[in-house]
């Protein structure tokens, strides 16, 4: 894919003017796709400020940035004019501490959190994962305590907590937020499912 000289100059100007630039769909406060949301969520953990470019508002930049860095997808993170990568690479570097080092911030606390898994929850998890091969149970907890479980391959950079004979894998930020949580199995009018209770907070 050829890159128009005018578009190249626009991109190079953006990269000169801003140390950290995320080319994404949407903006930091309102990402418009899951991958862009994942990238901003990770960067928000480390940086109070960074520049975003909404490629949905600029078709020339949307196609041009793919040719500029020879990277076919959006989002794309640039630091000091150099391409770092997309959402998956951003997340991997966050988990390993490489992103912290790149931005000059303190390395993450990798101490596994103390968590509790009730017997009912443990039994439900074991039944639900009995046929799952080659994957681990991950729990991601956002800044607002929104949380989600998923089965995914384990990473060497995961922070792993063990409770009631089960392993739960976390990224560094989620591990910090998970300290003292109780994972239970509850029945409500909406049905049955896992619930989380944070110290001093209601169940979610």
Answer whether CATH 3.40.50.300 is correct for domain 116-197: no
Topology of the domain comprising 5-103: Glutaredoxin (3.40.30)
Domains in the chain: boundaries: 5-103, 116-197
Beta strands in 18-176 (DSSP E): 20-24, 51-54, 76-79, 82-85, 116-117, 136-141, 147-152, 159-163, 166-170
pTM (2 decimals)?
0.76
User: Each residue of 118-173: pLDDT tens digit?
Assistant: 999 999 999 989 888 899 999 999 888 889 999 999 999 999 999 999 999 999 99
Span 116-125, pLDDT tens digits: 999 999 999 9
């Amino acid at each position: 894919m050829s890159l128009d000289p005018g578009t190249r100059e626009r991109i190079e100007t953006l990269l000169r003017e801003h140390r950290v630039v995320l080319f994404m769909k949407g903006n930091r406060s309102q990402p418009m796709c899951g991958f862009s949301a994942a990238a901003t969520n990770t960067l928000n953990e480390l940086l109070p400020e960074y520049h975003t470019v909404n490629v949905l508002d600029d078709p020339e930049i949307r196609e041009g940035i793919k040719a500029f860095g020879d990277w076919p997808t959006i989002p794309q993170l640039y630091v000091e004019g150099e391409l770092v990568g997309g959402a998956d690479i951003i997340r991997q570097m966050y988990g390993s501490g490489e992103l912290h080092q790149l931005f000059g911030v303190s390395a993450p606390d990798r101490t596994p959190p103390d968590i509790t898994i009730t017997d009912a929850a443990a039994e439900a998890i074991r039944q639900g994962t009995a046929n799952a091969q080659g994957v681990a149970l991950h729990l991601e907890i956002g800044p607002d305590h929104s949380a989600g479980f998923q089965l995914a391959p384990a990473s060497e950079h995961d922070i792993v907590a063990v409770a009631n004979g089960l392993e739960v894998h976390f990224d560094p930020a989620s591990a910090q937020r998970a300290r003292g949580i109780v994972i239970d199995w509850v029945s409500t009018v909406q049905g049955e499912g896992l619930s989380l209770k944070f110290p001093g907070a209601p169940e979610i």
